[in-house]
Structure formats: C-alpha cells, structure tokens
Structure 1
Amino acid sequence: MVFLLEPVTEIGGLLLKPVLSGPSQAYVRSEVQFDCAVPGWSSPLTYELWKDAGDLIAAENNIKVTFTLQVTEESEGEYYCRLTTGGQTSNSILFHAVIPVVGARLSSDPDPAIVNEGQKLVLRCLVRKGTHLSFTWYHNTQLVKSSSELHQISGDTLTVYRATETHAGIYSCTAQNQMTVNPRFSSSQDLHFIVKKHISAPSLSFTVFSNGSSLTANISCRSERGSPPVTFRLMLDGLELDVKRVDSLESWFVLPVSVGLDLGAARCKAQTDTQQLISDPVHLLVVPVGGAVRVTVTYLYDVDGMVAAARLKCVPDRGTFPTFSWSLNRSSLPAEGDAHAVTHHGQILILTEVSAGFYRCRARDSFNHSSVWVESEDIFIQKTDLAATPVEVIALVFCGFLSIVIVLGSFFMFWSTKRRNNTCKHHSNQDVIQSEMITIDVPVSDVSSEPQPVEMKTVIMEFKA
C-alpha cells in the first residue's frame, strides 16, 4: 500500500522523503513485508524501520529496502521508516496483528436460558481466542438482522427485552475475523431458549364414580394455556385440602361425596414462579336425576327452506350426572346410525334424515346403573309438517301488512285533505263578514275544495330463508 508523500525537508539541495508501503493487517504467525524507498532516487541509502514511539526494528542500505517480519501478538502497532542521513521520516502504517478466531460459544443470562413471558434475556457470543471480530446471529437457522423489533444486537451481545413465544427457539452465533483476505470463522453450538407462557386462570370440574357402596368425586384442576410445571391446590370453603406439583396443565384430586349432600364451594389454585390464579367456585353437590323429562326440538333448513335435519335435546328437571337413552316408536336407538347421531354424552340426538315417528328420551344417574329411568312424553316428528314454512309464509305476511299500510295511508291522506279544505272555507267566510261590516273591499282567496292527488309506491320485498 502506497501513501502520499508528506512535506519534506531539504538535504544537500534535494528533497529526500522516504515512503513506506506494506499491509495493514495479518494473522499472527504469518510473514509480512514492508518496503521503504525514496521515489525517483537511484543511489543506495540507509533505511531504518521503526515501530510506535521509538522501537527500532531493523536497518538496511539499498536504493529500495524490504523489511520482512514474523507476525506475533506484539507486532501490532504503528510502523514508519526514516533515513539515517538527515533523519527524514516516512508516512506511518497502523498494523493489526490478527489472532485467528477459535472456540466460539454462547452464554446466556439467565442461565439456563429459560424465562417467563415479558422477562429479559441476554446472549453473548464468546470466543476462546480471536481479535478484530464481527458477529452474526441466527434464530431457528434464520439470520437475525442487526436490529429489529424482536432482538437488539450490539457487538457480541444479543438482547431480548420482553420475551414472547416468538423469541423461543434455537439460537447460534458465528464469529469472524475482519479480514479482507482469507477471513476465518468459528460457529457456536446451538442454544435452546425457552419462553414459559403465562398460565390461564384454572377451571374446576368434577365427575363421580361408584366405589362399591360409596361415591368418589374425581376433581380436575386445569389451565388451558401456559408452561408447566404448575402447582395446583384444592380448596374447599377456603381450606386447603391437597397440593400437587405436576409437569402438565392439569391435576386430579379425589374426594368422597354423597348424593344430595353439598360439601361446599371448591376452588382450584394454580401457581408458578411468577403467577398465582384461582378458579371460580364449584359446589360439590351431586343431585340425583328426577322430575319431569322434556324433549326440545330445533329444525335445520336448507337454502330452499326445506327441513334438512332436526336436533332433539333431552332435558331433565334435575340431575348432576345424567346418562341418556333415545327411542323411536318405542324401539331403542343406537348411539350411531345411518340417519342419526348422538352427541353431548347422549343428551342430543341429531336426525340427518327426518323420519316420521314418535321420539322419546329417558335419563338416569350415570354413576348408578341400578337407578330408575325417568322418561319423557312421546314427541311426534314429521318432515312434511315442517317443510312449508319460510319463504311463502313470510311473503304472504309481508304483503298483507303492506296492503294494510297502503289502505290506512290513503284514508289518512283523504281525511287530512278534507279537514284542511273545511278549515279554509271557515276562515274565508269570516273574512267576508268582516269586510262587509267595515265596507272595505278586500278580495277573498279562492280555496279549491278538490283533493290533491297523492303519489304512492308499492314495494314488494322478497325474503330468502
């Protein structure tokens, strides 16, 4: 590399100013050469190579001299040459002794790299050796840009200020020597970053099963979202009954119960390192199936207004854990068939093809197979009775309503016109009487008694089911 000459001093009537050329960087343990000469000078001169404030490296005599150096870590510094005669000094070269990069690895704060949503994470790309480095970051094998809404990068540090699920994943870094020729790289191993999601408020539910002569409640405490582990606590009327720490979002508790006995309000607490949430109360009360059983029917129509399906629901007056059974014309219906399906633990019967007949449901306690079935009344379902409903009836009702509006509107307009004419005549007669009394001729306005024509429009709207 050749640099421009600086102003020189005069020696023997000639301007002699040496010029130093050479590399600005090289790897440690490599060999470099610096050349020193006076441009346009053809006689041998003695040149000295100096480093920094005054370390003489070498001296040679020639028209142009070349200084060869073995690069070590101590070779880094500012180099220049000068003539022994007259002491003229050359330009300087700032030389960097670059240590090849090796041993890149990732460190995290906190360690291990596990944080809750909203917390901070700092990753650093460390190397065992290496100088004059630049760093490249990867998240799930994708290049991380120098600055984004997700990450902030400064040198060997990547910072996540408020962690979300998006930040979770695999991180790695690559360190590179900043060399224009033959750059060297070192890549870290992958680091798995985990962002623990906040848990949602827990919900409590329970089922019962028979254990010989007694009943046991199987109580579920569950959060729909979040990251385990979670500590669940079962509370009954404010008193803690049991505690479980699980690596999932649900925990189960058992408690003896009796039919008709209200044990109290049960709640579930879910706790993590940063959260503590509690469920709504649920009364631990098992009510037996009883009272009347009703069947509600909902018809489903296609675009042509025809009955496409029917939804029958079995509703007992009371019962915490009922089981259901359906029949058609006194014959039991299986849970699945070609033209029907049973859902919601048997409570709802879907008829995909409506067959005419008498439908009935019955219910009893699911935990007691010896309990008595409570039956509904028969309900008659017939497809033809339901098909002629929507568009025609709606159109007829609307047209009838529109006709009534037109008739009433016409009558009101006629009545208003007639009343206005009578009023005008009455005022006109009064004006004539007054004009005759004071013998002043005042013209009386001519008020027409003919009704004014009223324009009306009939609008017919078509509704589609």
Structure 2
Amino acid sequence: MAIILHLSFVVIVGLGSCYDDPPVLGQPRLYGPDAALLKNTVEFYCRLSVYPKNETILLQLFKEGDRDKILGEYSSLNGEQGVFPILIKPFHDGFLECVASAQNNTSIEPTVSKSHRLRVIEPVKNAEVVVSSGQTELFENKTLELECKVAKGTYVNYYWLLNEEEISDTTYRHFNDNQLKVFRTTSKDSGLYMCIALNSYNETIYQSNSSTVQITFKAAVSTPQPSFTVLKENMSYSALVSCHSLRGTPPITFTLHEFDDEIGNVTVDDRNATFKIPIALGQHARWLKCTADNGQQSTSKDWMELKVVPVEGPVTLQYSYDTGSNFAVVGLTFNCTASKGTHVKFEWFLNGTLLPHTRGPFYHMVNVPPKSSILLLAVDRRSAGTYHCEASDEFDNTTAIRSRGKYLDKEVLNRIPDVVVAVVFGSFAFILALVCICCGIGFVYSKM
C-alpha cells in the first residue's frame, strides 16, 4: 500500500511539472513628443519592462481604437526598446498606443500601453472673415455673427479687431472658438472687422491676418411726420407737403399717399422729402399719409388734413389786466383773433409802427396757431400808445385785415373812470340819506 501511494505522488508531481504557467508580458510604455509639425519625421519609443526569456517580442504602434492600420512595428529580440520613425500626417493627431505580443507564442497574452496624446500642428494660413448672414449692411439691434475661417491650420487661437483695436469679450460681444457674436448692436459697432489666427510649434509662432470687412449698422427709419406749407405763384396755389423722420440712415425713400392712392415717391440722402401738390383755396379737406423706407418701412400713425382756408374778418382785439400789490395795473394781455383762416400770420402795431416779431424791450409775442396771437405788455411809459393787430394769410399778405385800435398809458389805466366815481359817490349819498331818514323817524316815534 505504501508503494502505491508513493507511485501516485510521483505521477501527480510529474503531471504538474508538465503544466507550468506560461510567461507573462509586462505593460509596455510608449513615449515620444506630445506635438509634432505636419510633414516632419519624429520618433516614438516603446519599451517593455518585463521580457519573457527566449521570446521575440513584437511591438506595434496603433491609433487608439484602430487596430487595422499599423503605424509602425519593431521586433525586440533581446529586450531592447522599439523605435518607430513616423512621417507626420493629419490622421496621426489623437491618441496612440503600443501593443506588445510574443511573435512566435500565441499562448502569451498581448499587453497594451497607456494612451499617448499627439497633437499634429499644421501652420495656419489664409485667414478670412466670413459674415454668417452674408450681409455687410444690417440694422441696429440685429445680431452680428462673424466667423474666422482658415485654409490650413490646427490648434489655432483667434483674435478679433475692430478698426485696428482688439475686441474684448463683454456682455454684448461673445467669442466661441473662431466665431464672434455681437448682440444689441448700434452704429458704434460699425467699422472694419478683421481676425488674426495664430498657432505655434516649439518657439515658432505662425500667424495669418485676414483682410478687413466693412460692416455698417443702419438706424431704422422712424415714423415720418407730415406737415405742409402753402406757396403762391402768380395766381395759383400749391401745398408743399413735407415728410420728415427724426432718425434713420439714408438713403430713405419717402412715399406720399392719399388714402389708397400714391401721389408720389422720392429717394433722398437725408431724412426729409417735399412733395408739391396744386390746391384751390377753400376746397374740401384731403387726407394724406407719409411712408418712409430705408430697408425697414415706417408709416405715419395719423392722417394729416390738407385744407387751406383764406383769412377772414372780423379781426378782434381783446385785453385783460394784471395788477400789482397796490392794485395798480402792471401788465396787459392783448389777444388778437381772426374769425377764419388756416394759415394766419399776425402782426402787431404801436402807433401805426410794426413791432418786431417775438420780443421787445417791454413786450413779448406768443402765437397760438392758427387763429390767434397774444401780446404781453409791461405797463410803463415806453408802452404808452395806440395798439392794433393785423391778420393776413401766411402765403399772401396783400389783403391784411386790421382790428380796431386800443389806446393805453399808465395814468389812464390806473385812473378811476368818471362813471365809477359818480356811482360810488351817488351810492354813498343815497346810503347817507337813508341813515338820516331812519334816524328822523326814530326820533319822532320816541316823542310819542
């Protein structure tokens, strides 16, 4: 029995020696440059830390995730490191890895190195500014989108200039890689835009400047306001209708409408256009509107009444007083009105002499179109005299209509009228008589 057990142990030990574990490969280490210039030749190295004895190790270089294309291979016989000279091409950019395997022993499991990042640098060339919308003239408040495109170049940094000054990243200006976006634009964002594209390898900097692109931001035309004046030529009359916008970048096309009919249109290099329309005085009103268009259109909010009525009398002159602390008259307000007229011109006269318009040493004129004018007077020696006003058509002063005159001076204004004196003293005498009568009647009754 002992002999049988001993033989079994020998057999088991013998069989165990026949199934020793196969050799194990260590993890290879891949190293080389982190960046390489396109079309340059660089070398990568792969070294295996643990080599099985008597095994030829095959070291291969791959792009990570692509084992179909071998970038380089090396057979290591005595544990030396593998060398992979590579002519750099664009597809080399990315992560590389080294795979180690026993060349003649499939029982040994291959091992893979850690990934190695390689940046392939292509010098930048031919930068160009591209407007995303294709338009170089835009209206304010539109978003501007520009892109800096390069014909060649990798790992590029971009810089933007406006009128030769670098643009900084702000709330309204945002950079995203090679793009520039400008929000809430105004006319201040107009100018010459260019981009600068830069990349580098080692200590060499590659730069490409684009040509400039002129970007113009236009102000949208504001709502046009219509107005008109009347022109007399010989014995005929015309209305000069003006369409005016306060804002808007020219050129602007103004169009004049009468209801659904277009009377005329004109394109101007400012914000005002004038249309000449023949008219007859006293006709029924016509209703007009203006439209302004400089790429964005705006129309008058309200219709304008076009009606011309000649001035007619009577012309009346009314006045009121202003008194001071001692109840003396210190100021006088004249109001001159015409019974009819849509375009009335008023003139004031002192002692038959025309007073210069607007303001003088003792007076101030205020016109209240279309039917009245106010003359404010300071009452002193300079303002004494006879006043009257005249009303005429603005477009034809040959038939002026005159008001009655009014004389004034300081003494006359502050003198109590004789009628008032008579009334006051008569009233006083009447009251005194009543008092005496009452007293007499009372005395008689007291004796009784």
Normalising by structure 1, we get a TM-score of 0.59
Task: Tell me whether 326-335 or 200-209 shows the greater mean CA deviation.
Answer: 326-335
Cα distance in 2 for residues equivalent to 1:63 and 1:331: 122
Match of 1:255 in 2: 277
Cα distance in 1 for residues equivalent to 2:57 and 2:357: 108
Deviation at residue 213 of structure 1 after TM alignment: 1.8
**CA 1:16–1:235 in 2, change beyond 3 Å: closer, same or farther?**
closer
Matches within 5 A, 1:126-205: 126-137=149-160, 141=165, 143-145=167-169, 148=171, 150=172, 153-159=175-181, 165=186, 168-170=189-191, 171-177=193-199, 182-205=204-227
DSSP 3-state at the match of 2:126 = coil
Deviation at residue 204 of structure 1 after TM alignment: 1.8
DSSP 3-state at the match of 2:135 = coil
**CA 1:177–1:350 in 2, change beyond 3 Å: closer, same or farther?**
farther
**CA 1:64–1:238 in 2, change beyond 3 Å: closer, same or farther?**
closer
Aligned-partner residue type, residue 55 of structure 1: I
Matches within 5 A, 1:384-423: none
Matches within 5 A, 1:56-71: 56-57=71-72, 71=88
Deviation at residue 69 of structure 1 after TM alignment: 5.5
Cα distance in 2 for residues equivalent to 1:367 and 1:77: 85
DSSP 3-state at the match of 1:372 = strand
Instruction: Please provide the CA RMSD for this pair.
Output: 5.0
Aligned pair count reads 362
Match of 2:38 in 1: 28
Contact 1:360 1:378 in 2 (8 A): yes
Contact 2:37 2:201 in 1 (8 A): no
Structure 2 spans left out of the alignment, 5+ residues: 1-21, 104-109, 415-448
**CA 1:338–1:181 in 2, change beyond 3 Å: closer, same or farther?**
farther
Aligned-partner residue type, residue 35 of structure 2: Q
Cα distance in 1 for residues equivalent to 2:217 and 2:378: 47
Contact 1:270 1:276 in 2 (8 A): yes
Task: Tell me whether 105-114 or 213-222 shows the greater mean CA deviation.
Answer: 105-114
Matches within 5 A, 1:261-280: 261-262=283-284, 264-271=286-293, 273-275=295-297, 277-280=299-302
Cα distance in 1 for residues equivalent to 2:263 and 2:32: 82
Contact 1:31 1:70 in 2 (8 A): yes
Q: Is 1:239 equivalent to 2:261 in the alignment?
A: yes
Contact 2:319 2:332 in 1 (8 A): no
Cα distance in 2 for residues equivalent to 1:310 and 1:120: 61
Structure 1 spans left out of the alignment, 5+ residues: 1-11, 302-306, 387-465
**CA 1:142–1:286 in 2, change beyond 3 Å: closer, same or farther?**
farther
Cα distance in 2 for residues equivalent to 1:353 and 1:67: 111
Deviation at residue 219 of structure 1 after TM alignment: 0.9
2:61 corresponds to which of 42, 50, 68:
50
**CA 1:27–1:325 in 2, change beyond 3 Å: closer, same or farther?**
farther
Contact 2:359 2:365 in 1 (8 A): no
DSSP 3-state at the match of 2:396 = coil
Task: Tell me whether 207-216 or 354-363 shows the greater mean CA deviation.
Answer: 354-363
DSSP 3-state at the match of 1:371 = strand
Aligned-partner residue type, residue 169 of structure 2: K
Q: Is 1:357 equivalent to 2:384 in the alignment?
A: yes
Contact 2:256 2:290 in 1 (8 A): yes
Match of 2:128 in 1: 105
**CA 1:137–1:353 in 2, change beyond 3 Å: closer, same or farther?**
farther
**CA 1:107–1:290 in 2, change beyond 3 Å: closer, same or farther?**
same
Match of 1:219 in 2: 241
Match of 1:415 in 2: none
Q: 1:360-391 deviations in whole A, cap 9, x for unaligned?
A: 54332232242225346447587xx99xxxxx
Deviation at residue 242 of structure 1 after TM alignment: 2.2
Q: 1:64-107 deviations in whole A, cap 9, x for unaligned?
A: 78766654435435445577988876544221212222222222
Q: 1:315-336 deviations in whole A, cap 9, x for unaligned?
A: 4443333334334454333358
1:366 corresponds to which of 394, 399, 412:
394
Cα distance in 2 for residues equivalent to 1:296 and 1:20: 108
Deviation at residue 344 of structure 1 after TM alignment: 6.5
Q: Is 1:323 equivalent to 2:345 in the alignment?
A: yes
Contact 1:202 1:268 in 2 (8 A): yes
Deviation at residue 196 of structure 1 after TM alignment: 4.3
Aligned-partner residue type, residue 226 of structure 1: G
Cα distance in 2 for residues equivalent to 1:308 and 1:189: 75
**CA 1:85–1:155 in 2, change beyond 3 Å: closer, same or farther?**
same
Matches within 5 A, 1:54-93: 54-57=69-72, 71-80=88-97, 90-93=113-116
Task: Tell me whether 176-185 or 284-293 shows the greater mean CA deviation.
Answer: 176-185
Cα distance in 1 for residues equivalent to 2:166 and 2:268: 34
**CA 1:158–1:311 in 2, change beyond 3 Å: closer, same or farther?**
farther
Aligned-partner residue type, residue 203 of structure 1: Q
Deviation at residue 218 of structure 1 after TM alignment: 0.8
Task: Tell me whether 218-227 or 151-160 shows the greater mean CA deviation.
Answer: 151-160
Normalising by structure 2, we get a TM-score of 0.61
Contact 2:252 2:271 in 1 (8 A): yes
Match of 1:462 in 2: none
DSSP 3-state at the match of 1:132 = coil
Cα distance in 2 for residues equivalent to 1:381 and 1:240: 58
The sequence identity of aligned pairs, in percent, is: 25
Contact 1:36 1:47 in 2 (8 A): no
Q: Rg: which structure is higher?
A: 2
Cα distance in 2 for residues equivalent to 1:79 and 1:138: 38
**CA 1:344–1:34 in 2, change beyond 3 Å: closer, same or farther?**
farther
